[in-house]
Structure 1
């Protein structure tokens, strides 16, 4: 009976696995924040009001970037947790992020905003998801292999 000595087994250091994921995630979060702000600005210039009827407040373009960055970082944390505790982190992240994106499309309908505002808010959610989900899924696939 032969055994493989422990010195023959090479594992990727945890700091490299999570550090690379964090770097990819933060860069993607920045990209998603910029993308949503760049998409919101022309919509506002075309007459879409980002006014919330209940409070009468208007969402500023910078607000889209800040909220997108925050929830993108939440996505990076979810990805890191799945990398740590899941046997198939990329698949689990893809399903989780897709489900959370679908859930995020509900509040714009409930806010009572104008139809153009609702459509733009949904589009902005999808822009952020289109940046974050593929980037983190690819990063998880390369780190869990």
Structure 2
């Protein structure tokens, strides 16, 4: 399970960083008005990697302590993904930045959540 999760996390880091670079190339500035700072590409990689690894820890914990780990993981992951869509709206960035951040959150979830769910299903079947 951990191997599946780490590979998924690396895939999400790559996908999000490439998508952010593409968004920047087409004119998205990723500037957050409060400090006037621009989110660097490395920032996307670090935050995506950290949050993805939190998902891996959650999946491993549910596999260990839950009677229905896949179901619990999916409910939790979908809920956390929905919650993660709120900060881009309140960060105060431009419309393009807000939309790009929303898309990047969904890209990360689209890579990590299905991979971990498949890994949990396989692990459950092997019990």
Q: Same fold (TM over 0.5)?
A: yes
Higher-Rg member (1/2) = 1
Aligned to 2:123: 143
Secondary structure of 2:109 counterpart: helix
For 1:103-118, list aligned pairs within 5 A: 103-118=83-98
**Which gives a bigger RCO, structure 1 or 2 (Cα 8 Å, sep 6+)?**
2
Secondary structure of 2:31 counterpart: coil
Counterpart Cα distance in 2 of 1:140 and 1:128: 18
Runs of 4+ in 1 over 4 A off after TM superposition: none
- The Cα of 1:136 is off from its aligned counterpart by 0.1
Instruction: Please report the TM-score for the alignment, with normalisation by the length of structure 1.
Output: 0.85
- The Cα of 1:61 is off from its aligned counterpart by 1.1
Q: Find out whether 1:45 has 2:36 as its counterpart.
A: no
Count of aligned residue pairs for this structure pair: 125
Q: Which runs of 5+ in 2 are unaligned?
A: none
Aligned to 1:131: 111
Q: Find out whether 1:95 has 2:75 as its counterpart.
A: yes
Q: Which runs of 5+ in 1 are unaligned?
A: 1-20
Instruction: Please report the TM-score for the alignment, with normalisation by the length of structure 2.
Output: 0.97
Aligned to 2:62: 82
C-alpha RMSD of matched pairs (Å): 0.5
